[in-house]
Chain A
């Protein structure tokens, strides 16, 4: 049975629908990411789980109990805010202790748990520091310790890493994942950063304009995107306009001079999506000319002008000679590396 369940949840502000028909079951201990551009409704959904907003329609259940009927202060969820929202007039230890104090945990046990929580996030010895005397990364850790020390049933993270610089963000991602694995708290992360979502989550919920585009593991959403939006939002992708040619038998999928046996169930104009790193240079295939070639250490990045429009190709730097700028090349890929969708409006 699902641990946390969102059942056709919707939120409207006046006439504007911000979240629509959002259904999701989260298993116990799972790490889920809500991924999407700003304004896609991911934060609104998180706030409905937290209880800061009431859903217009639908139900949210935790272990089968209706969560929307419970006051946010009684839900027992741990939340880390984008701005951390630490209490500036309290020390790190007092910040972490606040939730325990509200639960009337005895003083001795409280001190012990606060110390353990701060040690877990690597802040042992920072107990008496005030938040404004701490770096962004340290404040972030205090916020995480404050959310985790109350042993929340679900941990909600609202873009917690977006205020950190790139290097620190990577470190925190690894640490966050390790902590979550160790204590096994069911976690929901809201982010607009696809790398963050992919490296942290068990499953990703890709959202756009208040609707779920796809729910799946990072590999699934990356390699088999359910929509054009998903394929474009998760990493770079090449979209080629192709057609299904039924005049020959067996039917063929044609994109420029690239052809392959057509997948079943589709006809007419289609879009062929291929990830840049899955395209190789071969003797036959889509005709293209290399416009720019950029060396990036462990890989080469090619920008090409193909028969079907611009294309990006990424090749591992494996020591082989690579084509130069201005060279005419043929782009090929294995049929299992592409996803084919019917092209709308064509």
Chain B
């Protein structure tokens, strides 16, 4: 083979991936870099954005406890949502996996169905059920005399967590489901024949094996919840801001784009660090199960 042809064949992969690479750079990397740049710019009520390099926005985020509270709330909601989906989703997937053919596919559809409906519609559903005095459930419970005042749901963290958990559940169930598929179908019988009761089987045999699935599901749910916008915006509203709704408000209401960019950048960096870190941890811890 001639040197020119060799050079040509080395260039071919680049040429073939060029369109995709250009798209990736154009719509993802450049805007991202610009957002990061933007976070160092100055902004004033009357002068607008000034393309200078200052740390004003970052200093504000670092010193003003308002932002600390915001980010703490964001991650608290994400963690609670993740815990809730894991606690409900893992048993759900296990039960689903033990069902027989026809019921299994039916309930899988029930679980995946919500993915076909817009997040906004699903979240508004919660608002319809629990929204103040006019919420269906609140109305019913109040007319039955079970409660005197409406259950506080709208504009509460509990409400955001519950609605988010509902939205994120399919990701957790699917992730655990995938882990369950890798289980030896005889493994429970094997443990039973050695004298293990049902609780021991789940705790000692099933749980350790589906843990990687639970944890990868947790990473997906956590990162999606921490950066979720629609659900916190509808349930939490202005009163209960999280990082994503804060960035949105800075951009579109205050028009302080540099500050919004700084909030968005910080959220992105924090999420990447958490996800990459926990992923490495999981892979090391469960090396034997993953192999």
Contact = CB atoms under 8 A, between A and B. Distances in A.
Given A98-B194, A150-B194, A79 B189 contact: yes
B193 A50 contact: yes
A80 to B, nearest CB: 9
Nearest to A98: B194
A76 B205 CA distance: 19
B289 A88 contact: yes
Interface residues of A, number: 29
Contacts of B195: 73-74, 76, 99, 102-103, 150
Interface string B167-201: 00000000000000000111101111111110010
A79 B209 contact: no
Contacts of B289: 88-89
A37 to B, nearest CB: 21
A72 B192 contact: yes
B47 to A, nearest CB: 61
Interface in A275-325: none
A88 B194 contact: no
B152 to A, nearest CB: 43
B209 A88 contact: yes
Contacts of B200: 102
A205 B200 CA distance: 36
Interface in A82-103: 82-89, 98-99, 102-103
A41 interface: no
Given A89-B289, A102-B195, A130-B288, A81 B190 contact: yes
A87 B193 CA distance: 13
Contacts of B208: 89
Contact of B191 (A76, A89, A98): A98
B11 interface: no
B291 interface: yes
Interface string A93-125: 000001100110000000000000000000000
A211 interface: no
Given A73-B195, A150-B195, A85 B190 contact: yes
A76 B289 CA distance: 28
Interface string A140-151: 000000110010
Contacts of A150: 194-195
Given A73-B193, A98-B191, A132-B291, A81 B209 contact: no
B206 to A, nearest CB: 10
B189 A85 contact: yes
A126 B192 CA distance: 25
A83 B291 contact: no
Interface in B68-96: none
A82 B184 CA distance: 11
B189 A132 contact: no
B193 A79 contact: yes
A123 to B, nearest CB: 17
Nearest to B212: A89
B184 A85 contact: yes
A144 to B, nearest CB: 13
Interface centre among A74, A84, A102, A132 (most CB of B within 10 A): A102
B196 A79 contact: no
A254 to B, nearest CB: 54
A102 B193 contact: no
A52 interface: yes
Contacts of A241: none
Contacts of A133: 288, 291
A87 B191 contact: yes
A225 interface: no
Nearest to A88: B289
Nearest to B196: A102
B193 A78 contact: yes
A219 to B, nearest CB: 33
A81 B186 contact: yes
A83 B184 contact: yes
Given A73-B192, A85-B186, A85-B190, 13 more contacts: A72-B189, A73-B194, A73-B196, A73-B197, A81-B186, A81-B189, A85-B189, A89-B208, A89-B288, A98-B191, A102-B196, A103-B195, A133-B291
Interface of B: 184-187, 189-197, 200, 204-205, 208-209, 286, 288-289, 291
14 contacts: A72-B192, A73-B192, A74-B195, A78-B193, A81-B190, A83-B185, A85-B190, A86-B190, A88-B209, A88-B289, A89-B209, A89-B286, A102-B194, A102-B196
- The 5 A-B pairs at the shortest CB distance, nearest first, are namely A102-B195, A99-B194, A85-B190, A85-B186, A89-B208
